[in-house]
Amino acid sequence: MSSKVKVLITGASTGIGATYAKRFAERGHDLVLVARSVEKLEANAVELRQETGVSVELLPADLTTEAGLLAVEARLRDDSSIGILVNNAGSNVGGTFVTQRIDDLTKLVTLNATSVLRLSHAVAPRFAEKGEGSIINISSVLAFAPEWQTSVYTATKSFVLLLSQALQAELGQKGVYIQAVLPAATRTEIWNFVDEDKRPPLMEVAELVDAALVGFDRREAVTIPHLHEELRWQTLETARQALLQDTGHTTAASRYLEAK
């Protein structure tokens, strides 16, 4: 049993989540791994136990179902040894808004957004009470790019970013750390829905996660590993705050006043 806090990672069977599992195991954290594919989870668990000696528990769950969400929420609420939650599970769907099936879109929202909300809410009271605990939410740079790709996926990633920033504002003062990680194109199976010749240049997943963990160790609120010019993010945030400061008027802006 590790003396370090236990880490629960969703979407830990492949890609970014599986790499987070490897890295946290290498740091000596016991793990709880969540995904649908028991076979992949078991294979990862065997390798991680052999390589690092940490405890690895599997919690197979489909986070687009009520039963799956309830099972993981209960574990997060009841297991006080879990001190880090990585909300990573996510998917995308191909096609355009008008061609995508609404069932697929509602599942996408449940996985990418509702699961982040519900699992964060399952741990936040305990973390706040204890005055410590971390939540890593995997958003995307597409949170800034509604015109770039499928609309609903982008909207879910904007939700994750804004929720993370709001929770950091509320819970940071109580000792809880919330990190929003915004990857850009990274080599994982999520790209399977895009033809190989249509994919952008991809960052290797270990490079992405290692950079994100540097941000985590620095307690950075928003971590954007692909963004080389940090000033671009800082400028966006400054402009956002300035916009908010200019919305306290009681009369409409002159550009909306019709000539009398």
Ligand X SMILES: N[C@@H](C=O)C(=O)O
Ligand Y SMILES: NC(=O)C1=CN([C@@H]2O[C@H](COP(=O)(O)OP(=O)(O)OC[C@H]3O[C@@H](n4cnc5c(N)ncnc54)[C@H](OP(=O)(O)O)[C@@H]3O)[C@@H](O)[C@H]2O)C=CC1
Q: Known catalytic residues?
A: 153
88 contact partners, CB below 8 Å, separation of at least 6: 9, 10, 11, 12, 16, 17, 20, 136, 138
Query: H/E element holding 27?
Result: none
Task: Sort strands 56-58 and 82-87 into parallel, antiparallel or unpaired.
Answer: unpaired
Which x/- pattern, by CB under 6 A, does the window 5-44 give for ligand Y? -----xxxxxxxx-----------------xxx--x----
- Which residue from 190, 205, 209, 212 is in contact with ligand X, where contact means CB under 6 A? 190
Residues 72-111 that bind ligand Y (CB under 6 A): 88-91, 111
For ligand X, the closer CB: 128 or 184: 184
CA within 13 Å, CB half, 206: 2
Query: H/E element holding 166?
Result: helix 151-171
User: Distance (Å, rounded) from C-alpha 32 to C-alpha 85?
Assistant: 10
∠ CA 128-79-205 to the nearest 5 degrees? 85
Which of the ranges 40-48, 76-84, 172-180, 183-191 carries the binding residues for ligand X, by CB under 6 A? 183-191
For ligand X, the closer CB: 155 or 184: 184
CA 80 vs. chain centroid, Å, equals: 21
Which x/- pattern, by CB under 6 A, does the window 158-197 give for ligand Y? -------------------------x-xx-xxx-------
Instruction: Note the residues at the interface with ligand X (CB under 6 A).
Output: 92, 140, 142, 149, 184-185, 190
Instruction: Note the residues at the interface with ligand Y (CB under 6 A).
Output: 10-17, 35-37, 40, 62-64, 88-91, 111, 138, 140, 183, 185-186, 188-190
